Structure 1
């Protein structure tokens, strides 16, 4: 019996020593976590990518403003990295106290601007850094009548600036208006409707309030491209299409190829509402969100997919889709 006990004791000591010298994979492996931002946008500046979006569900800092994540290669992400406990814009520093949705960040006259939705209206804040703090001293919306969401600021080659956005009127309809140089107000006489949900793929549930939203506008070979999402975001058929025009005001011709990003070609439910960006190699991508899972919508997950122009059409590499995560 004594010999047996001695052998067992020696074996235990050997195992313990082995574990000390060779930590198991489980204790050394870094666990990746999906980034949970909806309506995302990626801004590239001085070798760094900055990711912003709408928080939701039980996500930390939900409803407190806008978080920002950073990456130097679009693969390894860190954050939240905002200057205010992870936030680039904090509630109280700018317009709004609820419903912080769909930010866009751009650089204009050596300053950084964030245009965003809060209280179902649109405001713009500024900062000296993409990490914030973004502030809006006026704390007023750009348009003070009605309800509007999902802003996108487009600056044309001639310097004119246009605010594409969604107005909540008999559906989510995409409008455009020229915006003044101070970026704080629009030229109301230029307000023009662009598109609404009229096609079968844009309203698969045949609801009375059709949705077109999340506009992004590009210009390529003299043609304007309006990329948008359609259907309610809770609908698995939420998807991305585009329209083209020879003028920033339209009329817009919807592409027969739409939807170009949907659950049939990317195999994810509720995929859409993102933004176009170019990486450091001038390669074109679209950042977007999906449903959390097959059975749950929120919190929505963030991913990117490669897109490009081909014969004046937007083409999507569905095999390039991947989720973004922190490590």
Structure 2
């Protein structure tokens, strides 16, 4: 059971990380589970007591949320949230231990949910800033990933559509960004509504530039309880199998009446004629981990 999950596929092995939502896994940080077929999962398999990053390995004392894993210059990196700030740790293996010197990225405010994206020789940090709502921003990063370039900081989107704020709250939420590129078009996948809301769901926006401006694709989400018959569907990430098939990993509520511990789910998705959608006839997979 991982909330805000991400899956990193490396040499035929899938590594599942997320916000620790499993009452059977004690400790703070990011546990990791492994699989070779997306059906049977083992772990926690992290190098530090089952954790790929455990409290004390670097920056953060609480609120370890929403990691992203990527490979860069033959090293493995983890961008993550702690103390409502963003930090980046590095390791020699996807199971860690990921470490850093104990500092977050410089920031003038609270920021969460990082997603690092490489494109045409530049590095971009998509993330959420807590400023009159949860709003998704992007900025170019320094090549060494040590900081953003402040002059490039740009808002991407915030919640404006009815499906993104079904309870009509004043502090609206757009969060959990994932970005991919197909041809000349960029896709920003995000989640909206509070994660405790049964209508938590995922939509996407498109742009011809990684910096935007972004156009929301439709007036409805492409991952939601209406499509999948589970409440609280959202805050995930895109990953691919070795054959290049695309999947979305995300969390759902534990049940129709209980939010936590949230359950991890995987569904095949497709990108056709500029439209992201759940693959027709696909069944959800549940990488349940005790």
Partner of residue 122, structure 2? 160
Which moved further from structure 2: 293-302 or 251-260? 251-260
Report the structure, 1 or 2, having the larger helix content: 1
CA shift, 1:159, in A, is 1.7
Partner of residue 54, structure 1? 19
Partner of residue 40, structure 1? 5
Partner of residue 131, structure 2? 169
Partner of residue 206, structure 1? 168
| TM-score, scaled to structure 1 | 0.86
Cα root mean square deviation, aligned: 1.2
> Counterparts of 1:185-204 in structure 2 under 5 Å?
185-204=147-166
Pick the structure with greater CA Rg. Answer: 1
Partner of residue 112, structure 2? 149
> Do structure 1's residue 219 and structure 2's residue 184 form an aligned pair?
no
> Counterparts of 1:324 and 1:57 in 2: how far apart (Å)?
13
> Do structure 1's residue 65 and structure 2's residue 5 form an aligned pair?
no
Note if contact 1:76-1:326 (Cα within 8 Å) is conserved in structure 2: no
CA shift, 1:140, in A, is 1.1
CA shift, 1:258, in A, is 3.0
> Counterparts of 1:288 and 1:108 in 2: how far apart (Å)?
24
Note if contact 2:67-2:79 (Cα within 8 Å) is conserved in structure 1: yes
> Do structure 1's residue 295 and structure 2's residue 257 form an aligned pair?
yes
Structure 1 gap ranges (5+)? 1-35
CA shift, 1:317, in A, is 2.5
Partner of residue 30, structure 1? none
Q: SS at 2:163's partner residue? A: helix
| TM-score, scaled to structure 2 | 0.97
> Counterparts of 1:141 and 1:203 in 2: how far apart (Å)?
31
> Counterparts of 1:162 and 1:253 in 2: how far apart (Å)?
19
Note if contact 2:39-2:285 (Cα within 8 Å) is conserved in structure 1: no
User: Which of 86, 91, 94 is the aligned partner of 1:122?
Assistant: 86
Q: SS at 1:229's partner residue? A: strand
> Counterparts of 1:258 and 1:323 in 2: how far apart (Å)?
25
Which moved further from structure 2: 312-321 or 145-154? 312-321
Q: SS at 2:61's partner residue? A: coil
> Counterparts of 1:234 and 1:52 in 2: how far apart (Å)?
20
CA shift, 1:141, in A, is 1.0
Partner of residue 97, structure 1? 61
> Counterparts of 1:203 and 1:66 in 2: how far apart (Å)?
30
Q: Render the CA deviation track for 1:246-283: whole Å, top value 9, x for unaligned.
A: 11111100011630010011000000000000001110
What is the count of residue pairs matched by the alignment?
289
